[in-house]
Amino acid sequence: MAPDAPEPAKPPRRYRGLDPDERRADRRRRLIDAGFELYGTIGYQATTITALCREAGITTQHFYDEFGSRENLLGAVFDETVKRAAVQVADSLDGASLDLEAQSRAGLGAFLHAMLDDPRGARILGLEVVGVSPEFEVRRREVLRDYAGVVARSAEDIQLQQGRLTRGTSFISLALVAGVNDSMIEWLHLDDKPPIDAVVAELVELFVLVGEHFATEPPPDAG
């Protein structure tokens, strides 16, 4: 007599059409959206866990299950905002000609529009993550260095195509990126905000002038 076949496993219990994994992903999504809204408007220090849960429509216990702390949620919001802007910058640079002005305009335009079209992102990246913790400061500095690396590589590629060299790109690129960051923060604080493209145009002039100044002709071949 054949043994009884095992009973099929019961499918996970669904609630409102979602299984447990989908419900958890939905809670996480809603919390990140709530963090972006509240951290980007009233600020990190003024935002309580109660306010985040109310905004997301979830319980406090679910908040702790997903993130455990306001800082961990800020990290998720920060990472997502950085990634979204980085993708836009990369796409814009890929679509621009290998020319100093074109690359500068594409990269700066993509970044500043990504940040300032919805100023919540700029506030989170430029203001709310500053001074949160030593660990978060490391993350913030890494993002600045990553963007400095993008600037340096773009400049080097352009100059090599023109048969020239670029000197001292590391700290120069970091200084340029820091300047863009401060310009973004200044824009946030202005009552009479200039058009974003006007800010881009001014910064493009700076990037081009600096890029041209630090580009040098290669030394003549020996012999």
Give the domain CATH number at 60.
1.10.10.60
**134 within domain boundaries:** yes
Residue 10 lies in a domain: no
Residue 4 lies in a domain: no
Euclidean distance between CA atoms 197 and 113, whole angstroms? 8
- pLDDT by position in tens, the chain (length 223): 555 555 554 555 545 566 778 888 999 999 999 999 999 999 999 999 999 999 999 999 999 999 999 999 999 999 999 999 999 999 999 998 988 899 999 999 999 999 999 999 999 999 999 999 999 999 999 999 999 999 988 888 887 777 766 666 678 899 999 999 999 999 999 999 999 999 999 999 999 998 887 766 555 554 4
| Whether residues 22 and 86 fall in one domain | no
Among residues 52, 68, 84, which one ends one of the domains? Answer: 68
The bridge status of strand 165-166 relative to strand 215-216 is: antiparallel
Specify whether 75 is located in the same domain as 168. Answer: yes
Give residues with Cβ within 8 angstroms of 179, minimum separation 6: 203, 206
Strands (E), the chain: 165-166, 215-216
50 and 108 within one domain: no
In a domain, 3, yes or no: no
User: CB of 129 within 8 A of CB of 182?
Assistant: no
Domain that holds residue 146: 71-216
For residues 211 and 200, membership in a common domain is answered with yes
Q: What share of the chain is helix, strand, coil (3-state, %, to 5)?
A: 70, 5, 30
| Ramachandran bin of 16, using left for φ above 0, alpha for ψ from -120 to 50, beta for the remaining angles | left
Q: Does 26 share its domain with 98?
A: no
Its pTM stands at 0.85
Residues 97, 196: one domain?
yes
Is 2 within a domain? no
